[in-house]
């Protein structure tokens, strides 16, 4: 469980950021943000003034929020008439996360607090959250160990003739027994993920997912992940799963094959590993995010695989790594346009992958933390393709 000191540090950093931007306070409403700054993910609104004590206003459940919250929890939630009284006249500018707050919610709070200016603190929040404390890094390592232990079991249950969804079921069963929490939070507006991907033939199918691989899924309504297609010999099987423990997500991918791989796939895998290793070695504070993506794309080009990098030709995703933590799509992103330097304690899933239509998808993914010595690998398991 979160410690009082941990929450205090988070609040101090948030208050500092608010004062720097001239914002009088943050009204946090999105569940995982409320959890991050209070220790409870009950249905509640958290008010953090730029100076002074935060307050947690709980809708449901007050008793559980009182048990968990490291900030004083009060309830019942104030009536519309009472709510404005909680905000002194000196509060003029209120920060809200515009990236996730629906318009209806925004209008509700704007009506409750007339005359105040609401400003977007989505960027502040995401940047603060991206840097993990020592306590958080321990949680991430524990998630990494637990997820890796499930990956280690794959050779015991992967067989040809089983459907992709059977492989998914076996993996997810063991992940759940290991205490996996299952629900994977994503912040981006139009993304959805059910735990991960266990895909072979369908890995080449393009899809909506903002990543190199989507999978065909089971229907047009759920067009993602495993399908009912069967796993056959000599075809790469990509297992890309998240593990969620204590709320902290790690992300990793390993390749399996029953039989052998075509030389083009073996060469692509060697390139993916070289890219991963290059990016990992350079996962140091001060290194600019987009530079790592450019270099990765260059290495793919040099191997003659530029068209196939991070997606089928024409459907390529434009990144080589993404932040992970309480959400799967955190900052930083190793992508064009991210001109910011890496910071110590950020945690990044590096996932160079190649889609070779007709042959299959191949690549590698591990979660690392940024350190002075380069990326510390959190998902401790050999990277090699596992031949069965």
Can you read off the two tokens belonging to residue 351?
């996932």
Per CB under 8 A, 189 contacts a copy of itself: yes
For residue 208, state whether it binds a copy of itself (rule: CB under 8 A).
yes
Does the protein bind a copy of itself through residue 154 (CB under 8 A)? Answer: no
Q: Does 207 bind a copy of itself (CB under 8 A)?
A: yes
Q: Does 135 bind a copy of itself (CB under 8 A)?
A: no
Window of 3-11, 175-183, 273-281, 349-357 that interacts with a copy of itself by CB under 8 A: 175-183
Q: In Å, how far are 250, 255, 273, 276 from 382, measured between CA atoms?
A: 16, 11, 11, 13
Whether omega before 76 lies within 30 degrees of 0, making that bond cis, reads yes
Binding segment for a copy of itself among 167-175, 255-263, 336-344, 375-383 (CB under 8 A)?
167-175
- Closer of 70 and 303 to a copy of itself (Cβ): 70
Asked if residue 337 binds a copy of itself (CB under 8 A), the reply is no
Check binding of 39 to a copy of itself (CB under 8 A). Answer: yes
Residues 103-132 that bind a copy of itself (CB under 8 A): 103-107, 120, 122
Q: Which of residues 205, 254, 322, 377 is near a copy of itself by CB under 8 A?
A: 205
Contact between residue 199 and residue 164 where contact means Cβ atoms under 8 Å apart: yes
Partnered with residue 77 across adjacent β-strands are: none
Cα dihedral angle (328, 334, 339, 345), rounded to 10 degrees?
60
Among candidate residues 328, 333, 385, 380, the one with its CA nearest the CA of residue 361: 385
Does position 182 interact with a copy of itself (CB under 8 A)? The reply is yes
Check binding of 220 to a copy of itself (CB under 8 A): yes
- Give the CA distances from residue 308 to residues 26, 278, 318, 363, 370, in Å, rounded to whole numbers and listed in that order: 43, 19, 12, 11, 28
Binding to a copy of itself, residues 259-288 (CB under 8 A): none
> Which region among 61-69, 81-89, 129-137, 363-371 touches a copy of itself (by CB under 8 A)?
61-69
Among 184-192, 274-282, 297-305, 367-375, which window interacts with a copy of itself (CB under 8 A)? 184-192
Residues 185-212 as b or e (16 or more Cβ within 10 Å = b): bbbeeeeebbbbbbbbbbbbbbbebebb
- Residue 152 contacts a copy of itself per CB under 8 A: no
- Strands of the sheet containing 55-60, edge to edge, are 73-74, 55-60, 43-49, 25-28, 93-96, 117-120
Single residue of 10, 41, 141, 353 touching a copy of itself by CB under 8 A: 41
With H, G, I as helix, E, B as strand and everything else as coil, classify residue 372: coil
Distance (Å, whole) CA 80 – CA 368? 45
Site pattern 224..263 for a copy of itself (x: CB under 8 A): xx--x---------------xxxxx---------------
Among 30, 241, 269, 354, binds a copy of itself (CB under 8 A): 30
What is the closest distance, in whole angstroms, from the C-beta atom of residue 212 to a copy of itself in the complex?
Answer: 12
> Which of 9, 159, 176, 344 contacts a copy of itself by CB under 8 A?
176
The 293-332 contact track toward a copy of itself, x by CB under 8 A, reads ----------------------x----------x------
Token digits of residue 110: 């704007």
Q: Does 98 bind a copy of itself (CB under 8 A)?
A: yes
Nearer to a copy of itself (CB atom), residue 2 or residue 257: 2
Closest CA to 167 of 97, 251, 229: 229
Of residues 192 and 298, the one with the C-beta less far from a copy of itself: 192
- The verdict on 83 binding a copy of itself (CB under 8 A) reads no
User: Distance (Å, rounded) from C-alpha 374 to C-alpha 371?
Assistant: 5
Q: What is the DSSP letter of 365?
A: B
- Least distance (Å) from a copy of itself to the CB of residue 188? 10
**Helix 122-130 crosses helix 4-20 at what angle (to 10 degrees)?**
140
């Amino acid at each position: 469980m979160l410690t009082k000191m941990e929450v205090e540090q988070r609040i101090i950093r948030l208050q500092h950021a608010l004062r720097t931007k001239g914002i009088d306070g943050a009204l946090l409403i999105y569940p995982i943000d409320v959890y991050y700054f209070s220790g409870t993910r009950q249905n509640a609104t958290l008010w953090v003034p730029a100076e002074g004590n935060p307050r947690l206003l709980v809708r449901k459940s007050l008793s559980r929020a009182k048990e968990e919250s490291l900030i004083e929890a009060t309830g019942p939630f104030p009536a519309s008439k009472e709510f404005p009284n909680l905000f002194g006249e000196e509060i003029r500018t209120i920060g809200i996360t515009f990236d996730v707050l629906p318009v209806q919610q925004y209008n509700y709070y704007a009506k409750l607090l007339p005359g105040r200016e609401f400003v977007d603190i989505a960027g502040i929040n995401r940047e603060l959250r991206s840097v993990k404390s020592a306590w958080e890094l321990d949680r991430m390592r524990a998630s990494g160990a637990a997820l890796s232990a499930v990956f280690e079991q794959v050779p015991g249950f992967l067989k040809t003739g089983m459907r992709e969804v059977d492989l998914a079921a076996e993996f997810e069963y063991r992940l759940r027994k290991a205490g996996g929490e299952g629900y994977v939070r994503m912040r981006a507006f139009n993304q959805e993920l059910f735990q991960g991907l266990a895909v072979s033939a369908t890995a080449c199918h393009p899809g909506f997912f903002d990543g190199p691989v989507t999978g065909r899924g089971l229907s047009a309504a759920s067009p993602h992940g495993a399908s009912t297609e069967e796993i056959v010999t000599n075809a790469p099987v990509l297992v890309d799963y998240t593990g969620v423990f204590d709320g902290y997500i790690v992300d990793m991918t390993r390749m399996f094959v029953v039989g052998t791989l075509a030389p083009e796939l073996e060469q692509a895998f060697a390139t993916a590993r070289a890219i991963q290793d290059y990016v990992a070695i350079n996962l140091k504070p001060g290194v600019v995010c987009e530079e790592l993506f450019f270099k990765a794309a260059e290495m793919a080009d040099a191997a003659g695989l530029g068209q196939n990098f991070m997606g089928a030709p024409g459907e390529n995703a434009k990144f080589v790594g993404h932040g992970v933590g309480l959400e799967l799509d955190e900052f930083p992103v190793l992508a064009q346009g991210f001109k910011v330097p890496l910071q110590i304690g950020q945690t990044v899933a590096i996932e160079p992958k190649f889609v070779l239509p007709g042959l299959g998808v191949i690549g590698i993914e591990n979660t690392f933390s940024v350190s002075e010595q380069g990326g510390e690998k959190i998902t401790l398991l050999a990277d090699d393709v596992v031949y069965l």
